[in-house]
Amino acid sequence: MKLALAIPTHNDHAGLERLLRQAADMEIFEQVVVVDDGSTPPVEIDATNLPFQVKLVRHDEAQGPGAARIRAMSEVDTSHLLFFDSDDLLGSDLVSLWQMLQDREFDFCLFRHDDSRNGGFGGQMPEDEALWQRAGCDTTEPELVASSAVPFLARTANYPWNKIYRLDFFREHKLSFSDILMHEDMELHWKGFLNADRILASTLVGAQHFVVEDGTRLTNRRNIARLRAFGPMQQIYQDLRDAIGPRDALTIAYLRFLDGLWHWIDGVTDTAHKELLQAHKRLFLRACLDDEQQNALLDCDPVLAESLKAHQLTAPHLQVNRAPIKVHLSGHHAKRTPLSYAALAPLFENQIVQVSDPVAADVIAFAHNMDLQDANLDVVSAWRDLQRPVILLSEEPFWDTIWGARPLDPVIVTDTSFGALPVRQISHQTSDLFRFDKIPYYLLTNHRFARAYQRHFQRNATRSALEWQEDFAKRPASISYMFERRPEPYHWVTWPEGDLIGLCSWRTELAEACRFKGVERLGRSWDGRESRLTLGYDWHMDKLTQLDGHARMIGAVENTHQPQYITEKFFDAFACGAMPVYYASPQHRIHDFGLPQESWVNLYGLTPEEGAEKIAQHEWNATFFEAFREAQNQLYRLFGTMDHWRAERARWAKKLPEVLEREIANPDRVKRPA
């Protein structure tokens, strides 16, 4: 077994030199093929002291990384090959990995990498970490990937440099890169997973990948060149479809990958090219999403079916004759707005655009009270001099109450370093924006909730009251609490006129007041385990996995009682097959779901001690199990159909622009000096 390193490079002489030095130190490469893709000045390599054969070839004019890698493939003389980019670094585990691979048979071996976007903490991007987890690949020793795990690994970022390929594997299946400027790696990646008989995977870190956000790398280009990728996209789909059919998990995985990729491309495509992009997506879907494929999707992943369909729709801005609303998101918490979530942002595409300059904005939005006082001069000037309205688009009643302290006021005045600023609060309390129809806002912020609930409630709805009763009898825990321990009394705040109550300290006291057998208090603040916020993978999946079928009850009390504010907690409890312990006034919207009152416990109006007593005394009788069965069926009817999710998303697509328009049309009247 001999290993070659193939490096396409373009005007990165320093990076190439660094990479060659690193490769020399590793002493695992027999050959290094460098394809100089039109660098100025041309690449020169002094191979005198390098412990491998160096082959330097040149494209006089830059042809892009795809063409350069294709050229490299044709020049390699070894049995195995690793593609690498000159601006990345080889991982320290690569030597061990290559040693472990000696005498192993494989078509390619996938290894892990560290991504610079993780702020130097190592690890891959969270999406990839989650996919590795789900694939169950957790050994350093390269192990054969089970066929059930292939669709997960195939959905990881389509990099060519995190795999050691057997060279004959390319030849046997005529595998290559696409000769395009961007996304040229997709073809080899997916066709590799499609055709490989033996894929190995190791958790060893073989590469350090560096990404300069908004830099000048090809991946940051926002131009029409990306659209050329639609040709290979369709070809890959056709190959998958012909080889394994529309229902195979790998075909579905590919469509899931495309759905995510398209959302990402949407976000980086210039406005001028959006319509063209839309047309490309429509053409693709028209060609590929025939009835057979659509039926397969509806059976396997109805959320994905809806999401793909949404790509076909004409962008809303093409349907309405108005310019998009320009919003400047400001502050550290700017990622926590309906405009910021990848799952929601497409709803507002071209109705609302984000601008980096507050002066260019129609409206300036903050997400968190805490950020308001740090408003910079540009923001204050935009309001002061240009009358740009400033809003607090807050999704968290917890922030509005504990930090804002005036959650009921439609307008609050905040001191900044440049003078006081009147800010209109658009919150659960002050706006009808969050007044959901069927699906509460928080569940829309990530598709994970729809997917998880669809599956869990489909399963749960098949169970009879008797089966639940038998199941509950086997539960190892009485009640599980999974929320942050916040005993500080200042968390207990109330605004009775708004039916608004801070519950952080109340629910902490409740958890501590439960002293009966089988009480679990989970999470870093209780048991020192890792916080969900630091988990690199899907915290919600992790939570459901931990709690599914585990406890008879789950503490689902929100951090704040607000009639419109309902997060995943209540539904997670039911999804895990446990009775939720909740806190809801008679006006709370949780009652609108119409679940049998006997199927959950409401501690509203009780002290923590009284609540603990009520929980301890709960009777697990036939009435409860029948109510619980009925609740599960109702929740399946609610979450199992995409209609409700789609309708709620449509409500948001309409409502948020309306709310912003209202602010722009009627900014608070301000008298100002000349």
Partner 1 sequence: MLNKFSSNSEKRVNDALAMLRERTQEGDLSDHVKIAKDIYLNADPNLGLGGRFQSTIGDIVTIDAQTPSNGYWIGLHIKLSSRDFGDAGVIGFASRGHAPEYTIVNPCIRSGTTDGFVDCFFDKHMLLHADSARYVDAVSIEDRDELPAKAPWRELILFLPTKDFQLTLTDLRVFVV
Q: Quick check: helix, strand or coil at residue 424?
A: strand
Which one, 383 or 506, has the nearer CB to partner 1? 383
Contact 519, 548 (CB under 8 A): no
Q: Is 665 in the site for partner 1 (CB under 8 A)?
A: no
Rounded CA separation 524/503 (Å): 19
Residue pair 338/648 in contact by the 8 Å Cβ criterion:
no
Count of other CB atoms within 10 angstroms of residue 410: 13
Region of 27-35, 410-418, 433-441, 528-536 interacting with partner 1 (CB under 8 A): 410-418
The span from the CA of 37 to the CA of 177, in Å, is: 15
422 binds partner 1 (CB under 8 A): yes
**81/70 Cα distance (integer angstroms):** 12
* Window of 254-262, 275-283, 367-375, 412-420 that interacts with partner 1 by CB under 8 A: 412-420
DSSP string for 114-163? EEGGGTTS-S--HHHHHHHHHHT---SS-EEPPTTTHHHHHTS---STTE
Report the candidate in 183, 81, 161 with the shortest Cα–Cα distance to residue 115.
Answer: 161
- The answer for residues whose C-beta is within 8 angstroms of residue 607's C-beta and 6 or more apart is none
Please identify which residue in the block is written with the tokens 């601008």: 355
Judged by CB, which is closer to partner 1: 622, or 670? 670
Q: Which is nearer to partner 1, 244 or 420 (CB)?
A: 420
Q: How many residues are listed for the chain in this entry? A: 674
Among 74, 417, 545, 666, binds partner 1 (CB under 8 A): 417
Minimum CB separation of residue 477 from partner 1 in Å reads 51
Nearer to partner 1, 474 or 671 (CB): 671
Residue with tokens 């495309």: 258
Nearest residue to 329 via CA among 271, 377, 368, 274: 368
Could you say whether residue 668 binds partner 1 (CB under 8 A)? yes
Binding partner 1 (rule: CB under 8 A), the pick from 272, 420, 466, 622 is 420
CB of 416 to partner 1, least distance (A): 8
Which of 418, 526, 539, 593 is close enough to bind partner 1 by CB under 8 A? Answer: 418
Tell me how far, at minimum, the Cβ of 669 lies from partner 1, in Å. Answer: 5
Stretch touching partner 1 by CB under 8 A, among 122-130, 350-358, 417-425, 645-653: 417-425
Does position 672 bind partner 1 by CB under 8 A? Answer: yes
Q: For residue 76, report the phi and psi dihedrals to the nearest 5 degrees.
A: -75, 140
Residue 673 interacts with partner 1 (CB under 8 A)?
yes
**Binding status of residue 322 toward partner 1 by CB under 8 A:** no
d(CA 646, CA 439): 10
Give the residue among 361, 285, 366, 352 at the shortest CA–CA distance from 320: 352
Q: Pick the stretch among 18-26, 57-65, 264-272, 419-427 that binds partner 1 (CB under 8 A).
A: 419-427
Min dist CB 401 to partner 1, Å, is 20
Sign of CA dihedral 623, 629, 632, 634: negative
Per CB under 8 A, the segment of 111-119, 267-275, 287-295, 413-421 that binds partner 1 is: 413-421
In this structure, what DSSP letter does residue 93 have?
Answer: T
Binding to partner 1 by residue 421, rule CB under 8 A? yes
Nearest C-alpha neighbor of 477 from the set 608, 570, 578: 578
For residue 367, the minimal CB distance to partner 1 (Å) is 22
- State in angstroms the smallest separation of the CB of 366 from partner 1: 17
Nearest of 151, 342, 179 to residue 257 by alpha carbon: 151
Report the C-alpha gap between 130 and 144 in whole angstroms: 19
**Amino acid sitting at position 368:** H
Q: Is 373 in the site for partner 1 (CB under 8 A)?
A: no
Counting contacts by CB under 8 A, is residue 413 touching partner 1? yes
Which window, 32-40, 457-465, 599-607, 663-671, contacts partner 1 (CB under 8 A)?
Answer: 663-671
Burial tier of 378 (Cβ tally within 10 Å: 0-12, 13-18, 19+): middle
CA dist., res. 192 & res. 199, Å (int): 9
CB 376 to partner 1: min, Å: 12
Q: Confirm or reject binding of residue 518 to partner 1 (CB under 8 A).
A: no
267, 419, 487, 605: which one contacts partner 1 (CB under 8 A)? 419
Stretch near partner 1 under the rule CB under 8 A, chosen from 33-41, 146-154, 193-201, 414-422: 414-422
What does the DSSP 8-state code read for residue 669? P
CB of residue 663 vs partner 1: minimum separation in angstroms? 14
605, HSE (Cβ side, Cα atoms, 13 Å): 5
Choosing from 473, 533, 665, 674, the residue that interacts with partner 1 (CB under 8 A) is 674
Total residues contacting partner 1 by CB under 8 A comes to 16
Which listed range, 420-428, 534-542, 571-579, 583-591, lies at the site for partner 1 (CB under 8 A)? Answer: 420-428
Residue 384 makes contact with partner 1 by CB under 8 A: yes
Does 372 sit near partner 1 (CB under 8 A)?
no
Q: How far is the CB of 673 from partner 1 (least distance, A)?
A: 4
Question: What is the binding site for partner 1 (CB under 8 A)?
Answer: 384, 413, 416-422, 668-674
